[in-house]
Every structure is written in structure tokens, then in C-alpha cells.
Amino acid sequence: MARFVLRVVAILLLPTLVAAVTACGSAANVNGGFATDVAATKVEVQTDPSGALRWDKTAYETTAGDVTFVVTNTSGQGHDFSVQGNGINVTSGTFRDNAPHNFTIKGLKAGSYTIVCTLPGHKEAGMIAKLTVK
């Protein structure tokens, strides 16, 4: 009888468990871990237009809160966009086009972060910048 009750409970709870796990997995993987909405505070970031493996600046600055990074790949080769540090580690998927991509972090706290392309060899070649959030 106990086995029967456990099976019934398991059958009844399985859809709820699957939905919860699926929702968590989806939220974590949306836009590479970035939020999909666009915040009022924006930081413009571009790849170096000369095609060198670096960002257009070595340092960026913004204010704490919800921040959207508007990232444009002007180089023609694949890159990703990652913000790391101070408890944050989010990375976009690879993008090649010359269109702006919005990557939002909600509740970005004051502190120092790193903006980096995590594709093999890109960081080592210099595709890394400092982000200061005040």
C-alpha cells in the first residue's frame, strides 16, 4: 500500500517538478544569461573597427542598476560578450553580424568588472576591458 501511495504522489508531482526545472533552465539560458528587456541605462560597446582582437575602448563606466550593453561586432569575425566579476559571470552566444545586440544585467552593483570575449585566443590577444560601475 505504501508503494502505491508513493507512486501516486510521484505521478502527481512529476509535472510540477518538470515545469519547475524547465523554467529554471530556460531563465538561466535566455540570451546567454543576460535579461532580454532593454534598460534605460545603456553602455555602447563595439569591437575594434580595424579588425584587431580588442574592444573599441579599454575601459567603460556606468551607474549601478539595470544596465543594457549595446554591443556591435564591426569586425566580421565571430565574438561573444561576457561580463565577469563581483558575483556576475554572464556570456552571450557568438555573433558575427554588424547589428547591435542588447545584453541586459538587472541590478548591476557598484564595483569593478571585466568585459571580455571568451572565444579561444581572443582574451589573450587583448579583447578585454575594464568596467567600472558607480
Q: 1-5, 24-28, 113-117 — which one is most confidently predicted on average?
A: 113-117
Model pLDDT, residue 115:
98
Instruction: Please give the Cα distance from 75 to 46 (Å, whole number).
Output: 9
Given a cut of 60, whether residue 10 has pLDDT beyond it is no
The rounded distance, in Å, linking the Cα atoms of 53 and 46 is 11
CA distances to 26, 34, 95, 115 from 57, in Å: 33, 22, 19, 10
29 pLDDT tier (thresholds 50, 70, 90): very low
The rounded mean pLDDT for the chain is: 82
Give the global pTM: 0.76
Edge-first strand order for the sheet with 65-72 is 41-46, 65-72, 100-108
Residue-wise pLDDT for 46-64, tens only, equals: 999 888 999 999 999 999 9
Whether the pLDDT of residue 20 is over 60: the answer is no
- pLDDT tens digit sequence for 76-123: 899 999 999 999 999 999 998 899 999 999 999 999 999 999 999 999
| pLDDT score, position 21 | 32
Q: For residues 104-132, b (16+ Cβ closer than 10 Å) or e, as one string?
A: bbeebeeeebbbbbbbeebeeeebbbebe
CA distance 58 to 66: 22
Confidence band, pLDDT 50/70/90 cuts, at residue 2: low
